Each structure stands twice: as C-alpha cells, then as structure tokens.
Amino acid sequence: MSEGQYINVMPHPRILGVLGDIEFAAWQCLAELVDNAFDVFQSSPETGGERPTVSISLPTAQDSRSTAEVTVQDNGRGMSLDEVRNAISAGWSGNGRHGALGLFGMGFNIATARLGRKTVVRTGRSCDSYWTEVTLDLPQIEASAAYQAPYRQVPKANPVEHGTVITISDLKGEQFEALRRPNALKVIREKLGDVYSYLLTERGFRLTINGKKLPPRKPCVWDEKRTVTRRGVEISAVQRIDVPLSDKKACMACGYWNPLDVDRCRECDQDRLEVRSRRIWGWLGIQRYVHRTDYGIDFLRNGRKILLKDKRVFYWTDEDGLGEPELEYPIDSKAATGRIVGEIHCDHVTPNYQKTAFEFETAEWHQVLRAIRGESPLRPEIAKRRQLPENDSPLALLYSGFRRQDPGLNYLVPGNGKEAIHEKTVQWAKLFRDDHPDYQSDDIWYEAAYSHDHPHQNDPGSDSDSDTDELLPGLGPVTPGEEDDDQEVPGAEDVPSADDPAPTETFEQRLQRYRDNADQFPDLAGEYLIPEMGRIELRVWAVRDQRLTNAKDQETPAFAIMLRSPRLEVFVDSDHPLYREHGADMRDIALLEAAEYMRVRQNDNSTPLSQLLLLFKERSSSPLLTPTAMADEAERLLERIRTLMAPVIAETPAVHWLQLRADEREAAEERFALESEPGLDWTEAVNNGDFIRFAPASAVLRVISESPALFMDGKVFRRSYAALSASDARDLIVERLMNPLSDLALLAQHRPKVTPEELGRIRVSCRLIARDLADDS
Amino acid sequence: MYRTADELDWEFLSNPGKTAQYRRWFDDPDIGGELRRFASDQDVRVWIKDVPMKEYARAQEGIGNFVPYVRRRFRGADEIVQFFCGADWSVVPESVEGKPNHCLATDGNATRYVCWGKAGVLKDLIWAALNKAIDSPTRPGIVITTRDGETISQNARERHARLANHCGVDLDHLHRSMIDNPDLITDR
C-alpha cells in the first residue's frame, strides 16, 4: 500500500443505537448514570451546602409507553458546553481508567441507548445564566448519517442553580415493560441501595427514586468486641484488613500498572502515567444470621460494589491450578448455609466494562485473594496432609472461629436452649434493616446465644420455654437481676404488634412448634411411589418434649398430615408411652400412619394395611435387618467415628499408636496400602495420627476405652464426660458407650452368623451410636 | 427534633419510617418524656405530629413561628414571586400565608395572587387559585416546586399546565435548592 492513503474508520452513526443492544439490566443502566454523577461529587464535593443528591424518576403505573420517561437528576456542579460534548460522545473518557466510577466513557451511551431512543441532557454551572440542553435523538442521528445532536440554551430562573438532568424518553418496549413489572421498583431500589451502600453511608450522598430515599444496605454483623476462643486464641467476629501495596504508575490510557521507574506505559506505550498509592482494605465479619445465599464478600472499586456476596474466596485452588477448586465453606452445616461476610476495597483492580466482575486473571486480583484468604487451604487438616503451611489469613482465623453453626456462645449462634434459632434470626435481621432501634446492636442475638448456654432456672411464671420464645422473640429468658433494672421497658408497641397480645396458636404454628422440637428420621425421608396409591414425599419428625395433638385436637402418639401435596409429614411423639413403655418401634408406627393416610386418601381399604407397610419399608432407606446390611451400616458408623477421631489423635499420635496391638498395626498398614491416596506416606500417617483412619475396629475401641475423656464432650461423641466428677459415674458412661460400640465392631470385623434377635440388638446399637455422634450428619 | 429530621431526610422517608421516628420521639425521655408531664399519651403523640412536624415543612418555606429552628430552608416567597412574575415583582408585605402557601405579588401597579407547593397538593393549589380567580381582575398563578431528590416527568408537567389552562390560571414549575437559614437561632 502506498503512503498517504487512508480508510476512514469512523463508525457508522448507527453505532450509538447498537450500543443499546448490550445486555444491561435496568438497574445497571441507572447505575451507569448514577456513577457519572457520583464521580462529579467525588471530584468536586462542593454543592453549595446542599447534600450531594441524585434523584431518579421512573415511569409509574399511570404512564403509557408514549409518555413514560426515565429521569436522572443531580445537583452536581454542572457541565460547560465542552464538557457536555465529551460526556455524551461515545468512547470519550475524561475519567481515565483509574480513580473514578466511570470506566470507558461509554456508560452514558450504553445506558441511555438501552433504555430509550431519545435523551435530553440539561446541564448548567452556577456561573452560567442559562441551561444547556442537548437532544440526542438516535433515529434522527442515524438518518442524518452524521453524529450531530442539536443543543439550545434556556435561561435559568435562578442563576446560581447548577446540576444535570438526563431525561430518557421514547422508551424501548422491552425496557418499558420491564420497568412496569410489579417488582421492578423494589429490585432496583434494593440493588442500588446495596451497590452504593458505602458511598451513601460514608460520603453522605443521597439517592432517591420516585421521591423516596434509598436506604443503604447495612451489613448485619456481630460487633467487633464479640469473640470466641480457639486453641487459646481469642478471635474477634470482625477482622480488619489493611494491606498497603507498593506505589505504581497507573496508565490512564489502558489501565496497566507500571513500575515507578518507567516513563511510558509498558503495555500501550502511552505517556499518560500517574503515580498512585494502592491499598487493599476493609473488613471480614460474621453475619448475625445464617443464610443459603445471603453471605459472602463484597468487593468495591472507588466505593461502588462490583462483586456482591461473592463466594469465590471460600474455594481453595492448589497453586498449580490443576485440581478443581474445592469448596471449603460452608461445609459443616447440612443445609449449606453460611455467614461470613465482608467489604473489601480494591480500587486498583480493573473491573470488566459491565462492572459486574473484576479481571480475575491478573496479579492484582490474586493479590487481593491472598490478602483475604492466604494460600493454604482453610481446613488445617487438609493443609497438613498436603504439607502446606498453616493458614493464618484473616479469613482462616474467622473460619476456625466460626465455621460451625452450633447454638451457643462457642460459635456465637443464637439458640433457644435446645437448638439454633436460625429462622428467627433472619426475621431479626429484617427488623435490623427496617431500622428497628432494638435490633441495631447485636445484643438481642447475643442474649439468645448466651441464654442457650445458660438456661434460666426456677422461673415459676413459665413452664414452657417455647411459649416465651413465641411471645417475645429475641428477648429470651430474662437473666436474673436484669428485669428490675430495666425501668424503661420499650413500649409495648415496640414489640411487633402481631405478637401482642398472646395469639392463640394456629394448627400450622403448632406443627412448626413440633418441627422446631424434633429430629428427622433421614432414613425414612424421601419419595415413595406405591403402585395404585400414588406418590408422596415423606418426612418423619420425632418430636421431643411436646404432647402431640392432630388436626382434630385428639392426643395421639403419631399422626400424618399433608399440608401441600405431595409432601406427607408424620409427627411422632418420641416420649409417648407407646414407645417408651410398650416398646413399639417409632419408625414402624410412622410408616403405618403414612400407609393408612394413603389408604384413606385413595378411599381404598382393600389393600391390607400390613401389606402396604411392607411396600413402604421396602422403599425406605433404612438398612434391612440382614447381616450384610447391618454390617455395612456398622462399618459406615465406624468410618464416621474414625474421621472424628483423627484430629484428636493428631494431638498426641505416638501415645495412641502405642495403644494398638502389633497385629492391629499391621492390619492398619495393610489397609493403608490398599486404600490411601497415592503420594501419602505411612510413616507420616503414623506420626500425624492419620493411621487411625485405617485401624481395625478393635483398635478404635481400645483407643477410646483407654482414654475416653479425649473423645467425649462433643469431640467424637456428644455425651458429657468431663462434667462428671465421680469415677464410678465416668466408668458407667464409658461402659454404656462401649457396649453398643462392641456390637458394631463385632459385626463389622467378623461378620458372624447372627439370629434376628441379635441383629435387632445390633440395629439398636447402631441407632444409639448414630444419635451420639458429634458430626451433625 | 428538627436536627434529627434533617439527618433522616424527613421529606424522603417512607410512611413507616416516619411512624417509627414519631415513636422514637415519643419514647425519648427528653421529648415525649417531658411532654407527658403536661398531657396524655394520646395528646402527646398528636402534638408531635401536628405541631412541630407540620410546622417543619412550613418552616422550610420560611413561613410560621418555627422558622428560627430549621438549619436550612428555601429562600422564601420572593424567590417564587420573582421566578413566576418577573424580576420587577415583589411580595406584598405581610401577605405570605399558608394552607396552601400563598402570597400577593406586586409590581407597583397590579397585584397577583400566587400560591405554591409540591405536585402532590396541586388539587389544593388549583382550588385556592380558582377561588381567587373569580374575585380578582388579575390571573392568579400556581408554582409547582421540587427540591433536590424530587423530579417531575415532562408528561406530568404538561398535564399540570393543561389543567391550569383549563381553569384559567397560570402555572409553572420551579426546582429550588436550600440555603443556610438566615433566621436560625441556636441555644448553645
């Protein structure tokens, strides 16, 4: 090609309209425009004494598509004609790549083109006597084949007025419909309140939608002064993070971070470099409630959240990145609920243009992850097994302190004396977010965790804990002495009025009370498809300490109820004399109730009840009463025991190694050779206590019986041991444990011929042990 | 109370938010506690709502006896009159009153009735203006005001104007900012 010839690469005017095809949710479009206004506030905070305010107005139900418009108005310093030109020209960015919320100078064009076809920008500075009003009519610009937007100057009523109003009309059909959806406003409010919570709280910015202020979403976390103790270390529920990084030269053109000694960007060779200090800072904390999704870390750039409730810090990836990332939290709760949250500012990490993610494959991002979670696995046992150093990052500290969700002060989880009250704490969190004054501090949560560990004594006025719980959520049992001091009892209307006066319990509430005080039979739970009888999903609740009355208010040892098809729930009063005194099997009765329910539902009593019971039994996952099935069950339980013992053994491995007989050591080594992961070393396993995971059942029993104190009190078995002072009593406890354990060991190890009666006894032993295991499965 | 109301952005609070704050004031020993020495609980509640907090909005307009207690407020009736009638016009002294906010404007020759308020009270403004229109030789005027945090769509503006036109009154829209209250008195 000869020199001096050029091809014009100026984009076609249609490009402005095409930008609107980029996938942006309505809230993201609004956020782009809010970002621009907030950038102005941050760069020139003076608004003449007025609170920096952005007001958004969205179409209301009365608007038709032809009249609907979206307005975003700010009281910032306003723009000169040159500034407006830059602000609305696609691809121009006065912000550079650093220091501002705006990114590529395209946010305005994408957001406005996404929402509608016509945009009017009216802006003025306090020194101007007129407003500058520019109209961007996309169809017109396209038709004119030139990028030209007309503007005019409109006199101001008051010369000192300043600010910018962006009005988008001729809304696109899809956007108009999306904005009119019943939930749209709520979603937008919640999203923006969350995304900008830091700027709204810390910078005093104000954001309104349709004349209502957006409340920032505040983190509902335990106070910094709350602590738990692990291995002698006190761990605060809030961990501060402040990692100063070396200064670098930011390239304002491409965003690349250069070392200080260069003059031109190493990435793009431009000379627009600015020295910037860089820092990773913020906090990690423990939420006062657990939730399936509402937890995780927020990552912010220049005060705006880019990642919300992000959970990638909870995964561990080995440094070679060969294995799949492994989830490390939450792994201790059956329901996979979590409560570690945080707010991490990392202004120097580049986000994607949609501001919904960072550039994850960069050194900067990995540095952020390291500052939070370190490099080793959070799980100390796994780290040790992989010969990685112990993780002492802020996240690992919180993990060791708060990974579990057991009620009480040990894990800082509210409880009612029997179990954790997770659902209630979620309701309290709502009151917290609704600004209810009683729920702002964590006192109510703390009281509930405290009183779980310290049940109140001699409270003659109340004979049922659960009743007080229902009436005064969060207040819990009053600690003696405190009641009298509390002269200014918050007015009765402070307690949500639904709870006042004492309501009569509805049937559904009664069922909830049963569920709250029950253990499920997981082996009976699940789907049952009975030929000609239909399909149900069964759940069986073994209710403790509550007398059962069915829907007809009849007292009964068990009843079945289907509130919503196909789920059938069976409630069994586990303290009822039918079981306690007459020896009926709760599981059998539960399945009988289910079977009878099916017969009544089908209006068919031609099938004998006992025949139907058999069909149910065949479909449940309860182990059969055959030697093989019981032996498998026993082996499964022993595996769980070994897993729980491993960390205890790891404290003094040599002591326990010596407790094994020679043949047991050999057996363990043989099994290790057969079953262990490749790359693991037997000597290492002997030294770190892992050998117990391969030891035969008899060895497991011997180790337990020789030092029972190590394994009781919630470490392997729930039963309490340390609290007993008399040695006879301790012996009895051990004996009561060893008897069923021996049954398990016998069957698992020898598979002897046994009679059905013996098998029955072993099944009971299995159930006794399963109930006593401290691993929550 | 006014300081708290400022901090809460009173005019942008939801109704449940306002109710909760009324209750907090009622429970506050320095506010509700003091008042309960003089009146029944019910009367105290009503008083908090109907006297200081109703006056709060008027005080921000520069109207009423509570003006000295708000930290920031709008410029007053002059701003309205000069925006609506022109720079040569001014407020007739002692003519500013509430329910709805209104005054008489004069250019030395003629006087005009001008009332103003938020779009939400347009009904009251129109009724007041209509009542003036049948008694007065000059066309009365209505000014719909907005403040930072409030916007009115173009469609709504046009509808306001058509309504006013239909009734034979003039109407315009004004966005106002607040200033530090020149009449503020502090007790400490």
Q: Which pLDDT tens digit goes with each residue over A127-164?
A: 999 999 999 999 988 888 777 889 999 998 888 889 99
Highest mean pLDDT: which range of A47-56, A368-377, A664-673, B16-25: A368-377
- Is it true that the peptide bond before A577 is cis, omega within 30 degrees of 0? no
Of A373, A391, A369, which is closest to residue A382 (Cα–Cα)?
A391
Cα–Cα distances in Å, from A310 out to A222, A298, A422, A594, B182? 19, 6, 22, 43, 49
- pLDDT, average across residues A671-700: 85
Q: For A26-29, which contacts have Cβ atoms below 8 Å and span 24 or more sequence positions?
A: A26/A115, A26/A175, A26/A178, A26/A179, A26/A184, A26/A188, A27/A187, A27/A188, A27/A191, A27/A192, A27/A195, A28/A111, A28/A354, A28/A355, A28/A356, A29/A110, A29/A111, A29/A112, A29/A114, A29/A115
Rounded to 10 deg, the angle between the B122-133 and B154-167 helix axes is 20
pLDDT at B167: 92
For the record, the structure tokens of B9 come out as 């952005």
- Paired sense of beta strands A70-74 and A53-57, if any: antiparallel
**CA nearest to B171, candidates B136, B134, B128:** B128
Return the residue in B151, B154, B172, B178 with the most chain A beta carbons within 10 A, the one to mutate for interface testing: B151
CA-nearest of B98, B136, B134 to B117 is B98
Please give the pLDDT value at position A476: 37
Residues of B in contact with A157 (CB under 8 A): 83, 174
Contact A161 B175 (CB under 8 A): yes
ipTM score: 0.86
Residues with Cβ within 8 Å of A468's Cβ and at least 6 positions away in sequence, in order, are: A462, A475, A476, A477
The answer on pLDDT for A754 being more than 50 is yes
Chain segment A457-473, per-residue pLDDT in tens:
544 444 444 433 333 33
| Facing residue for B12 by CB, picked from A59, A67, A212 | A212
Residue A502 has a pLDDT of 53
Are the Cβ atoms of B149 and A53 closer than 8 angstroms?
A: yes
Our CA-based measurement puts residue B16 at a distance from the nearest CA of chain A, in whole angstroms, of 9
Q: Which residue of A has its CA nearest to B153?
A: A69
CA angle A506, A512, A515 (to 5 degrees): 150
| Two tokens, residue A490 | 């918050």
Domains of chain A: 14-214 (3.30.565.10), 227-373 (no CATH), 507-619 (no CATH), 627-772 (no CATH)
Contact between A494 and B23 using a beta-carbon 8 Å cutoff: yes
Residue A604, pLDDT above cutoff 80: no
Nearest CA in chain A to B177: A50
pLDDT at A492 over 50: no
- Indicate whether A600 pLDDT > 60: yes
Which residues in chain A touch residue B149, judged by CB atoms under 8 angstroms apart? 53, 55, 206, 208, 211, 213
| Tokens encoding A303 | 């005060």
| pLDDT mean across residues, chain A | 85
**Which of A119, A116, A150 lies closest to A132 in space, CA to CA?**
A150
* Minimum mean pLDDT range among A192-206, A267-281, A746-760, B118-132: A746-760
Nearest CB to A213 within list B13, B72, B174: B13
- If contacts are CB pairs under 8 Å, which of residues 122-181 in chain B contact chain A? 148-155, 174-180
pLDDT of the residue at A91: 62
Residues making up chain A, counted from first to last? 777
* Token duo for residue A108: 């305005």
Please report which confidence band the pLDDT of residue A727 belongs to, taking 50, 70 and 90 as the band edges.
Answer: confident
- Residue A648 pLDDT greater than 80, yes or no: yes
Contact A69 B155 (CB under 8 A): yes
Which residues does chain B have with pLDDT short of 70? Answer: 187-188
Give the DSSP letter string of A492-518. GGGS-GGGSSPPPPPHHHHHHHHHHTE
Residue pair B133/B169 in contact (Cβ under 8 Å)? The answer is yes
Chain B residues inside the 8 Å CB shell of A209: none
- A358 pLDDT tier (thresholds 50, 70, 90): very high
Block residue for tokens 């609704």: A434
Say which amino acid occupies A653.
P
DSSP string spanning A382-443?
HHHHTT-PPP-SHHHHHHHHHS---SBTTTTB-B-SSSB-HHHHHHHHHHHHTT-GGGSSSH
Biggest alpha carbon–alpha carbon distance for chain A: 104
Q: How many CB atoms are located within 10 Å of the residue A481 CB?
A: 7
Contacts of A519 (CB under 8 A, 6+ apart): A541, A542, A544, A574
The answer to whether the Cβ–Cβ distance between B149 and A165 falls below 8 Å is no
Instruction: Test B151 with A493 for CB contact under 8 angstroms.
Output: no
Which residues 488-547 on chain A approach chain B with CB closer than 8 angstroms? Answer: 488, 490-491, 493-494
Mean pLDDT of A8-18: 78
Please state, in angstroms and rounded to a whole number, the distance separating the CA atoms of residues A444 and A472.
11
Cβ proximity of A245 and A370 under 8 Å = no
Task: Judge: A69–B14 Cβ closer than 8 Å, yes or no.
Answer: no
Q: Which chain B residues are Cβ-neighbours of A49 within 8 angstroms? A: 72, 178-180
By CA distance, what is A126's nearest residue in B?
Answer: B177
CB within 8 Å: B148 and A490: no
Across A738-743, average pLDDT: 91
Whether the pLDDT of residue A7 is over 90: the answer is no
Joined tokens for residue A587: 């599981």
Q: Which of A395, A341, A388 is nearest to A368 (CA)?
A: A395
The pLDDT score that the predictor gives to residue A45 is 63
Q: Is there a contact between A241 and A282 (Cβ–Cβ < 8 Å)?
A: yes
- A7-12: average pLDDT: 78
Question: The tokens of A155 are what?
Answer: 């006199």
Inspect the interface and report whether the beta carbons of A55 and B23 lie closer than 8 Å.
no
Q: With contacts defined as CB-CB under 8 Å, which chain B residues touch A30?
A: none
Confidence of residue A434 (pLDDT cuts 50, 70, 90): confident
Nearest to A259 by CA among A268, A270, A250: A250
The arithmetic mean of pLDDT across residues A554-563, rounded, is: 90
Check CB contact under 8 Å for A57 and B16: no
Residues of chain A above pLDDT 70, percent: 90
pLDDT exceeds cutoff 70 at A499: no
Do A435 and B20 lie within an 8 Å CB cutoff?
Answer: yes
Q: How close does chain A come to B163, measured CA to CA in Å?
A: 17
Rounded Cα distance between A113 and A641, Å, is 62
CB pairs under 8 A between A and B: 79
The residue of chain B with its CA nearest to that of A434 is B17
Residue of B14, B27, B174 lying closest to A212 (CB–CB): B14
Question: Which chain B residue shows the shortest CA-CA distance from A55?
Answer: B149
Facing B150 at nearest CB: one of A68, A69, A211? A211
pLDDT on residue B66? 94
Residue A491: per-residue pLDDT: 39
Distance to chain A for B9, nearest Cα, Å: 8
- Partners of B24 on chain A (C-beta within 8 Å) are 437
**Is B42 touching A (CB cutoff 8 A)?**
no
CB pair distance less than 8 Å for A49 and B72: yes
Contacts 24+ apart (CB under 8 A), A314-318: A314/A338, A314/A340, A314/A378, A316/A376, A316/A377, A316/A378, A316/A379, A316/A382, A318/A386
User: Do the chains contact at B83 and A48, CB–CB below 8 Å?
Assistant: no
Tell me the C-alpha distance between A162 and A664, whole Å. Answer: 85
Residue range A219-238, pLDDT digits in tens = 999 999 999 998 888 999 99
Show residues of chain B in contact with A493, CB under 8 Å: 23
d(CA A156, CA A165): 14
- In this prediction, residue A533 has a pLDDT band, given cuts at 50, 70 and 90, of confident
> Do residue A493 and residue B72 have CB atoms under 8 angstroms apart?
no
- The reported pLDDT for the residue numbered A99 is 55
Residues whose CB falls within 8 Å of the CB of residue A397, separated by 6 or more in sequence, listed in order: A235, A239
Among A180-194, A356-370, A538-552, A739-753, which is the least confidently predicted range?
Answer: A739-753
